[in-house]
Structure 1
Amino acid sequence: MERPSWQDAKLGTMKRAALWLVDVVGEGEKFTKAELREAFPDVAQIDRRMRDLRDFGWRIDTNREDLGLGAHEQRFVLQGTPVWEPGKATRASTAITATRRREIFARDGHICRSCGIAPGQLFAGSYEAAQLDIARREVSRADGSSAVELVTECNRCRVGGRGITADAAAVLAEVRHLGVLERRVLAGWVSDDRREFSAVERLWGDYRTLPEESRASVREALMSGDED
């Protein structure tokens, strides 16, 4: 089937935006909000129509997902469903409403469920503040089925978590192998939805983030007993 022109006014705005990305921008390339609005000067909500493509598997990153982008830049990363083809743009919307978004944030304790950072908190070793959003995560459930579930994540973890499947079945299997005392300890953490880490555990986490040369210096200091 021959691909129609993005300038065909008979097409819907979302379809035209998809064609503009493919024909003008190109996968992997950046574009600005100004360029998008210049291409569609008569469309009042072109930004929203562009975002609707994400519900059809299109990946369009902002500076929340791609730290190399400017505030007014976006990147067309991956083409999804060819929505301009007949019947391909009729799927029910999976957009998250503002009310649902607030519910998920509250349910998840207003923290990133992957790293625990709160909105506005600085990432360790940087001056960058965390931003929270809702991620769609593939999950393998205990009954063997798979599903997409919503979870709160920061801008860094959303990028790192793309393509990762959460395995609830594996977690439950490990729980069943715990002893009575270990189950009680875990149940307490789950009930409080938090766990306080000791100084040694925090140091272990910091050590793991160091480059190899620095890890070697720490190992040498520990083995020699000289931490100064």
Structure 2
Amino acid sequence: MEHVPRQFFLPLSVRPRSIFPIRGDLLIHLFEKYRTLVFILAGAAALFVFLLFKPSPPQQGTPMAIEAKESAIEAPQPVDTVTTDDKIFVDIKGQVERPGLYEMSPHERVDGVVEMAGGFTKDADRNAINLALKVSDEMMVYVPKKGEVETPLPPGSLSGTNGGEGELVNINQATSEEIQKLPGIGPSKAAAFIQYREENGPYRSVEDIKNISGIGEKTFERLKEMITVQ
């Protein structure tokens, strides 16, 4: 016969209490025993979760750094592009310190190319050159020596001879008084001759005078044998 513990035959009221509490009592027992440790661990866990999910404060230094970086990068400056159409070339010869070919702007005058060439020499006939005359592309400026006899120059060039009695009037260089020596030309038309060459550059041909207001075909036929362009 199988042995049965004696306590199973005793009434419930006299049975000995188990040394192990039931599950609920065990949890309460453990909580009471380790209460302090539980609170410490719970507080630490709550603090960890708070720090983990806490939104980061905006960084004040970053916008300033970006702004400083952006300000350091300057906006690209427009580049002044100069096309070949904005430049002309003038050849100056004769009594200047540095004769040669010079690149200039179309609105400049003979005075500018003389200055670029180093100025007149001591032997230059300064009165023979109209420094106020506007330059043009492919123009040649010749500065004569004092007492130099005029030599023919190619069209489009500027010499220092203004012409005299019995000679053709060089309308690219003649003064108002010299132009008025032409038949039918008074002070107002002489001024128009000079204004045209100052605004448009040297006359390319004698036919250019027909572009002057007041110079018609009849006047041109009368003057064409008396004028020249040099």
- The alignment's TM-score, normalised by the length of structure 2, stands at 0.25
- The alignment's TM-score, normalised by the length of structure 1, stands at 0.25
Normalized per residue, which structure has more strand? 1
- Higher-Rg member (1/2): 2
